[in-house]
A and B are shown apart, each in its own frame.
Chain A
């Protein structure tokens, strides 16, 4: 069923590296609050949904976590080691690009197509490592002939893309992701807004939180080719926080909320 612009849009959120389980993730509620806070009375109805994949990750790294619990000599040590494995493991699974990463991508694709088949415009919002999975699935869908006829937005399973705290600029994630797929000839544009705090170590790759200079991360994918069809905007945003705290501050930042309202209003 083609996407109907009059149907209620959904913001589908893909979370990043997390501890805990799927039940612990509540970024959909945070985003709903953020957008409502920034609507300014606009008559725009929408819904939010969260693609949870932490349980898939946890199942894959469970053996390593058990091992860490055995190795940890104290109760605090056990927790710290287990948490570290939880976080680092999420990244390793993505980089390995094995069956677990494919399972996560497949699940995201299914969720996107669920909304597409229902005719709801779907906007993808992805944080941190989640942005890598979202980027991959989006490009896979664009490459398929069944979707993304450039001149017909009704054939687009995703209407717009917003990333926050994305490590897409880091060399370890650029491997195999050196380009975005073209939409082909036409006039419609697919929008990608990429928000990042200059001190966010996940974006800069600098564990000490040194400020990232420069202005382009996502825009490095923009080609001077009229058939590419992506409108890309990089936004260095002052979240007011520094270092790791900045990495989780996007969910409540008014400027990010303004970008979301701009994205889902069209």
Chain B
């Protein structure tokens, strides 16, 4: 009986892991077409609620960009010394992107993610790789696929980084 109870507790302590990701093509901030990926993870902990995030924009041959989430929604806020934008978030940053059809990652059920981008990168001597980011647009729409897994002790599922071919970097 004790063994059964222990096994039951262990099973109930297990987690369901989700990886949500969507790939798409778009122009970068300099007009060159590249591959992009929007992704996030979520974990349902049966006895302990769920957690999700953050939303990440993976960019071929550039550093990924992490969205932030708060009561107002999901948005991309980037530092003013690295990006030029029009919507000032605070003395240090611009609002450079916004998810338009989802307020909380945790509440996503299905369907495409719509988002906007409204900044362009600044290149200076401290940029170790030339930032290419993504072109400004009001209406990106990305179809999302879901991968699901269950485990007792495993961590979040991992989205593989988009690969930069050696001859693409810095162009």
Consensus secondary structure, chain A interface: loop
> CA–CA, A188 to B82, complex, Å?
9
**CB of B145 within 8 Å of the partner chain:** no
Is the beta-carbon distance between B156 and A239 smaller than 8 angstroms?
yes
Q: Are A199 and B161 in contact (CB under 8 A)?
A: no
A-contact bits for B147-171, CB 8 A (1 contact / 0 none) = 0000001111111011111100110
**Which listed residue, A241, A255, A258, A266, touches B82 by the CB 8 Å rule?**
A266
* Count of chain A residues with a beta carbon within 8 Å of a chain B beta carbon: 57
Contact A262-B65, Cβ < 8 Å, known A40-B161, A235-B54, A255-B54: yes
- Whether, in the assembled complex, A51 has its beta carbon less than 8 Å from a beta carbon of chain B, the answer is no
Determine how close the nearest CB of chain B comes to the CB of A37; give it in whole angstroms. Answer: 7
Q: List 26 A-B contacts (CB under 8 A).
A: A5-B126, A39-B161, A40-B61, A40-B161, A42-B61, A44-B129, A153-B126, A189-B80, A193-B66, A215-B71, A216-B70, A229-B92, A230-B92, A238-B41, A240-B154, A241-B153, A241-B155, A242-B13, A245-B153, A253-B155, A254-B158, A254-B161, A261-B63, A265-B131, A266-B126, A266-B128
Q: Would you give the 0/1 interface string for B27-50, flagging 1 where the beta carbon is closer than 8 Å to chain A?
A: 000000000000011110100110
Contacts of A252 in B (CB 8 A): 155
For the complex, give the distance between the alpha carbons of A265 and B64 in Å: 10
Is A9's CB within 8 Å of the partner chain B?
yes
Interface residues of A in 173-193 (CB under 8 A from B): 187-189, 191, 193
Q: Are B166 and A259 in contact (CB under 8 A)?
A: no
The 7 closest A-B pairs by CB, nearest first: A240-B156, A40-B161, A240-B155, A41-B164, A258-B64, A265-B63, A262-B63
Whether B51 pairs with A199 at a CB distance below 8 angstroms is yes
> Which one of B13, B43, B65 contacts A238 once the chains associate, using CB atoms below 8 Å?
B43
Contacts of A43 in B (CB 8 A): 129, 166, 169-170
Chain B residues near A159 (CB-CB < 8 A) = 126
Alpha-carbon distance between A63 and B17 when the two chains are bound, in angstroms? 45
Which B residues lie within 8 Å of A231 (CB)?
A: 79, 92-93
Q: A187-B81, A211-B49, A222-B90 are in contact. Are A40 and B162 (CB under 8 A)?
A: yes
